[in-house]
A = this chain, B = another copy of it.
Amino acid sequence: MDKNNFAKTPPMGWNSYDYYDTCVNEAQVKANADYMAAHLKNFGWEYVVVDIQWYANGAGSMRDRFQYIPFDDLEMDRYGRLQPAPARFPSSAGGRGFGPLAEYVHSLGLKFGIHIMRGIPRRAAQEHCPVLGTDTTANLVADPSSVCPWNPDMYGVYDTQEGQAYYDSLLSMYAQWGVDFIKCDDICDSRLYRELPFNGWAETRMLHRAIEKCGRPIVLSLSPGPAHIDRAWEYADCANMWRITDDFWDKWELLKAMFWRCELWQDHVKKGCFPDCDMLPLGYLGKGFGEERFTNFTKEEQKTMMTLWCMFRSPLMVGAELTRMDEWTLSLLTNTDLLALLKESCHGVQLVRTQEYAVWKSRDEESASLYVALFNLGEEEAEISVKLADLDEKLSAFPTHRLFDLWDKTETQTTSPVISAAVPAHGVKAYKIQD
């Protein structure tokens, strides 16, 4: 098994976090999956991902004081493996875990994903749960000094044969459930252990090994960011995606900062290896956080985000509640001219970036198509331009070109050696260039 074949292009899907926080339930997951199958599947969207604390029976019940209630009732099997909270995921009854839900999602022609926290439940360690298939117990594989700074559920797992056995038992169960995608948290960066050795590095490799052993091509996604650029090779060796940013939300300053992050990571986008710009906070968001809203991004900002994510070839995970989809948001998610940039044969690079603007180009090696995006990062409308010669030396040899606007779907013919456009503040103009 070569993990780079699990996801040859950036994974596209839906994630429950941005709308539901820790509280999504089975019916809601199914409803979103139904919508995806009906309206988005044909455009390449396929992953349905249940985010954090699906195992927490009390999730959301003390939301004024805690996002994650410490030492609360976590659903767990006798081997210290977390299980779906039965009240929220009724089909998990009888020890079937996420099997039935995964089956449902598969029946729609989609793939099923879950969020997990790095490590083993603290409760398992305290209760000395046996580790499946071994003589050891959870208290001996848990590292009591390896904790997550923001979530109280787990301990890190020692990098030992017994620790590996725990991860193996976990992946074996996930494979049996039919899980296609794992987003592992508290593993890509830790604010707590920045200086001291961080066990997450070893656990990344343990997870990778466990996936290889389980026999199922499970995509591995690492969170939270920012990922460490000096560990780029190791992420690529073990995982399919890794977050290059802390949690991304609908704020312009975060979107603007993503241009710097994409600059930093652009050379590390490869088959099966995708630096991850995080979820797309589009449409309806925030219900579980007590601040339900339509995205704060303006339409121009949303186009900027979609264009950058596609040029850079980030995974695309929609945060919107899909059942409340509107026309505009749907148009963003189904812009096939833009989504074409995610193809394996495409490769995007930044040409220039200042405080005021950025220019990216992408070339599709297969079709030999050339794309360019002019981003206005400033607070005023501005004329942004790029020389054809800077896009491609050969281009300048041809006197006439057609520019197809990826958003407006208009085509213009030009003989100018410069592509130039008036771009609104925070906005973008993106073209496919044709001879």
Q: Which residues of A approach B to under 8 Å, CB–CB?
A: 2, 5, 70-72, 122-123, 125-126, 128, 139-140, 142, 144-145, 147-150, 152, 191-196, 229-230, 232-233, 263-264, 266-268, 270, 350, 389-390, 393
Contact = CB atoms under 8 A, between A and B. Distances in A.
B125 A71 contact: yes
As for how many copies of this chain the complex holds, the number is 4
Contacts of A150: 145
B230 A126 contact: no
A278 B268 CA distance: 24
A106 to B, nearest CB: 26
Given A145-B150, A147-B144, A152-B145, A139 B71 contact: yes
Given A72-B139, A144-B152, A233-B263, 15 more contacts: A5-B393, A70-B139, A70-B142, A70-B144, A71-B126, A122-B126, A123-B126, A145-B150, A145-B192, A149-B196, A191-B196, A194-B195, A230-B264, A232-B267, A267-B270
A427 to B, nearest CB: 23
B232 A128 contact: no
A232 B145 contact: no
Nearest to A144: B152
Contacts of A144: 70-71, 122, 147, 152
A270 B71 CA distance: 43
A233 B264 contact: yes
28 contacts: A2-B389, A2-B390, A70-B139, A70-B140, A71-B125, A71-B128, A122-B122, A122-B126, A122-B144, A123-B126, A126-B126, A145-B147, A145-B148, A145-B150, A145-B192, A147-B147, A149-B196, A191-B196, A192-B192, A192-B193, A194-B195, A195-B195, A230-B264, A232-B267, A233-B263, A233-B350, A267-B267, A267-B270
Nearest to A150: B145
Looking at A142, A145, A263, the one whose CB has the most chain B CB atoms below 10 A away is A145
A221 B251 CA distance: 40
A23 B340 CA distance: 58
Task: Pick the 8 closest A-B CB pairs, nearest first.
Answer: A144-B152, A71-B139, A267-B267, A70-B144, A126-B126, A145-B149, A233-B263, A71-B125
A72 B139 CA distance: 8
Nearest to A193: B192
A266 B233 contact: yes
A308 B100 CA distance: 51
Contacts of A267: 232, 267-268, 270
A142 B147 CA distance: 14
A122 B144 CA distance: 10
